[in-house]
Amino acid sequence: MAASAFATSSRSTAAPTGAGAVDELTKEISTIGKFAEQIQSIAFQTNMLALNATIEAARAGEAGRGFNVVAQEVKELAGQTRNAADEITRTVKRLQEVAAQLSALQTAAVTTATPSSRSFMPDNHAGGTYTIGGHGAVVAAPPTAQQIRMVQESFAKVAKLGSAVAALFYQKLFDLDPSLQALFQGDMETQGRKLLDMIATAVRGLNNLPKLVPAVQKLGQRHAGYGVQPGHYDIVGDALLATLHDGLGPDFTPDVELAWASVYNLLARTMIEASS
């Protein structure tokens, strides 16, 4: 846990810089958007001037024919400028959406360890037992590319167990907190398939976190409607790691365990923030 605590400290220090970078990116995107508006305005005015010139050239008859050619070229140039400005505006809008998602991701991923906060972190790699919040450790940054790969590869292995791994998860979950059974209505086998599908979707989506975060936020809001409380996420995290420990066996190495802890912390924090 000493190493985890050290990692938490260093990441928490760096986190504000990441948040500041997102804010700076948002400001720069806004500036580009203003330039695009100016370009559109200039293109409109140029087009109007070209139109007026075309009218005057027509009135001048044969004497204005050469001027009319120039006016048409200016008009075409104004149209191209307007099209370019429109494309810039569309690009700015897409960038603003990405920046908003990155901001949400930053908010969800960065947490501060306080005496009242509860955070999920493996405590005993070898024994398969886990302590929640006991050391105040927080995974304060999104998982690394290597951790994402570990999670995806290990899930591919455990997913081969099918319904058995889902049943094992629910067994461990209800052993940890029997009261949670009240949240699950209907056939548990169907629930298990939905669980595996949900995890599979999230694991695949880790390669594109800005796109994944909004979906996870909606999931958190739905879960809140079902009666899921913030404290339940810690219990689910314990049950998840315990299930992976049994399902993967020797493949559930300390690095794999930490990778899953990092991913789960990110997803759980995102869902909690969205439900509050």
Indicate the domain borders of the chain: 2-109, 137-275
Average pLDDT for residues 36-65, to the nearest whole number? 74
pLDDT digits (tens, 9 = 90+) for 89-146: 888 777 777 777 666 655 554 443 333 333 443 333 333 333 333 333 344 457 888 9
**Count of C-beta atoms within a 10 Å radius of residue 90:** 11
Which fold is adopted by the domain 137-275?
Globin-like (1.10.490)
- pLDDT at res. 132: 34
Band (150; pLDDT cuts 50, 70, 90): very high
Q: Where are the alpha helices (DSSP H) in the chain?
A: 2-60, 65-109, 145-159, 163-176, 188-205, 209-226, 232-248, 254-275
- pLDDT at res. 41: 80
For CA atoms 81, 84, 86, 92, give the dihedral sign: negative
The whole-angstrom separation of Cα 267 and Cα 276 is: 15
Q: Enter the tokens of residue 132.
A: 């929640």
Going from the C-alpha of 247 to that of each of 84, 104, 196, 225, the distances in angstroms are 55, 33, 14, 31
**pLDDT higher than 80, residue 5:** no
pLDDT digits (tens, 9 = 90+) for 171-196: 888 888 888 878 777 777 777 788 88
- pLDDT at res. 54: 72
What percent of the chain has a predicted confidence (pLDDT) above 90? 4
In DSSP terms, 121 is beta-bridged to 131
Q: Determine contact, residues 166/196, Cβ cutoff 8 Å.
A: yes
Look up the CATH number of domain 2-109.
1.10.287.950
Q: Determine contact, residues 246/100, Cβ cutoff 8 Å.
A: no
Counting Cβ atoms within 10 Å, is residue 177 exposed (0-12), middle (13-18) or buried (19+)? middle
The whole-angstrom separation of Cα 231 and Cα 170 is: 17
Q: Determine contact, residues 260/237, Cβ cutoff 8 Å.
A: no
Distance, first Cα to last Cα, the chain: 30
